[in-house]
């Protein structure tokens, strides 16, 4: 029986979690109490065994059956003690997707591993299938109990650090494009997988091109059913949009750790807090964040029930507007100083970085334009746009890769 009672009051739950952390975690040195150094996998194993890694999941799947409000209490307790390893039911896309869409056998085999160590990258977009992901041409051909994968992916974040990728691949070329796709948990560290970093405007190389030639994935690593991967993928992309809608792609500032919005601190530091126009823009920016936070709560509730998951698109689109808007406000607060850069001008450097990084939220997980289409059709109920290739076998669909090309 768990030592964390799902019927406990928020304060009692907080005390219980802090007590557990004080028994297991050295918050000053940020390592387990019984170990001289921090072993990420070993620590996460302890958190997992306590049910604190994925507290919203049921006990039979390593969780505690906690509500969203209780999970926030747990997350805040971990933050109080500078501890990591909780809230993976919100942030670990690979584990979440396997839990939501994978078979019981796949969950039993892979969830303990995913929740204690590896990250998963997202092998979705291709050079000729970005906004229209159902147009993917990466092949998966069955050989015995494995599938042989050949194709190319692009804009893959953190591919070099990932042990696994969630892979969309074409398994039936005679079915319409949405019905011939299969979703796999793909082992990244194998022969036939080449990763090439992409240099970004921020100076980072977080995105990558992936070239896959005769790489293998076991049949048992299929997420969902054969040729029905588009449905499983919708679970993954919905959670990605929810995460992006929470602003995870932005950088945390020291002021946030102190409980103050970074824009307020920047305005105060630059003697702009009493400017009525600046104050109005700051108030509007904070209001946008509060409204989006409330919508995120709606979206999370929606995800707990079967049916549409379109509210995540609203959250993601709103966060794009928030990040671009706040970068513009910060630039105006700094004035000519925003033209500076480098370590001696940290405020300007951070503002310039945030202005460039905001485009990640506008593109990753489906562009802002795609989110507007989803919101129009699935939230507002407007008519769907025309699909000229609907119902056509995918091998007959015309593409820009050349006549007769099928992969």
Distance between CA atoms of 165 and 168, rounded to whole angstroms? 10
Distance between CA atoms of 189 and 98, rounded to whole angstroms? 19
The conformational region for residue 37 under phi > 0 = left, psi -120 to 50 = alpha, else beta, is beta
Distance between CA atoms of 203 and 107, rounded to whole angstroms? 38
Give the CA dihedral 229, 232, 233, 238, nearest 10 degrees: 160
Instruction: Tell me whether residue 240 is one of the annotated catalytic residues.
Output: yes
What letter would DSSP give residue 398?
Answer: -
Concatenated DSSP letters of 168-181? EEE--TTSBTTTSE
Distance between CA atoms of 79 and 73, rounded to whole angstroms? 10
Tell me the two tokens of residue 7: 């019927």
Which position among 75, 240, 385, 387 bears the catalytic label? 240
- Angle 157-159-161 (CA atoms, 0-180°, nearest 5)? 115
With beta carbons less than 8 A apart as the criterion, state whether 318 and 295 touch: yes
β-pair partners for 108: none
Tell me the two tokens of residue 31: 């390592």
Concatenated DSSP letters of 211-280? EEEEEEEEGGGBSSSTTBHHHHHHHHHHHHHHHHHTTTTSPP-HHHHTT--HHHHHHHHTT-TT-HHHHH
β-pair partners for 216: 148
With beta carbons less than 8 A apart as the criterion, state whether 208 and 196 touch: yes
Tell me the two tokens of residue 231: 């449905």
What are the residue numbers of the active site? 240
């Amino acid at each position: 029986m768990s030592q964390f009672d799902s019927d406990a009051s928020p304060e009692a739950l907080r005390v219980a979690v802090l007590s557990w952390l004080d028994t297991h975690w050295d918050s000053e040195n940020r390592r387990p109490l019984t170990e001289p150094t921090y072993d990420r996998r070993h620590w996460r194993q302890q958190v997992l065994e306590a049910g604190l890694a994925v507290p919203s999941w049921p006990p039979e799947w390593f969780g505690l059956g906690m509500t969203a409000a209780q999970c926030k209490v747990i997350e805040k307790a971990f933050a109080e003690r500078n501890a990591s390893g909780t809230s993976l039911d919100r942030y670990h896309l690979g584990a979440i997707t396997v839990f939501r869409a994978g078979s019981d056998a796949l969950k039993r085999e892979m969830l303990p591993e995913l929740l204690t160590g590896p990250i998963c990258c997202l092998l979705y977009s291709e050079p000729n299938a970005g906004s229209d992901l159902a147009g993917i041409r990466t092949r998966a051909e069955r050989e015995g109990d494995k599938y042989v994968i050949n194709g190319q992916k692009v804009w893959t974040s953190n591919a070099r650090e990932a042990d696994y990728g969630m892979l969309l691949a074409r398994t039936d070329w005679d079915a319409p494009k949405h019905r011939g796709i299969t979703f796999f948990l793909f082992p990244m560290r194998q022969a036939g997988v080449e990763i090439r970093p992409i240099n970004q405007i921020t100076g980072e190389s977080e995105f990558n091109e992936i070239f896959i030639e005769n790489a293998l994935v076991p049949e048992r690593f299929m997420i969902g059913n054969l040729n029905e991967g588009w449905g499983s993928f919708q679970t993954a992309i919905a959670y990605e949009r929810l995460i992006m809608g929470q602003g995870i792609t932005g950088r945390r500032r020291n002021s946030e750790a102190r409980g103050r919005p970074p824009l307020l601190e920047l305005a105060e530091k630059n003697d702009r807090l009493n400017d009525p126009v600046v104050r109005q823009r700051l108030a509007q920016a904070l209001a946008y964040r509060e409204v989006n936070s409330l919508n995120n709560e709606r979206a999370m509730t929606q995800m707990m029930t079967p049916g549409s998951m379109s509210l995540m698109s609203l959250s993601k689109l709103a966060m794009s507007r928030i990040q671009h808007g706040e970068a513009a406000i910060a630039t105006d607060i700094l004035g000519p100083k925003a033209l500076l850069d480098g370590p001696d001008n940290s405020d300007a450097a951070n503002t310039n970085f945030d202005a460039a990084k905001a485009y990640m939220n506008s593109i990753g997980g489906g562009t802002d334009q795609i989110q507007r289409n989803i919101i129009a059709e699935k939230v507002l109920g407007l008519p769907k746009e025309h699909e000229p290739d609907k119902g056509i076998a995918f091998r007959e669909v015309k593409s820009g890769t050349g006549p007769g090309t099928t992969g």
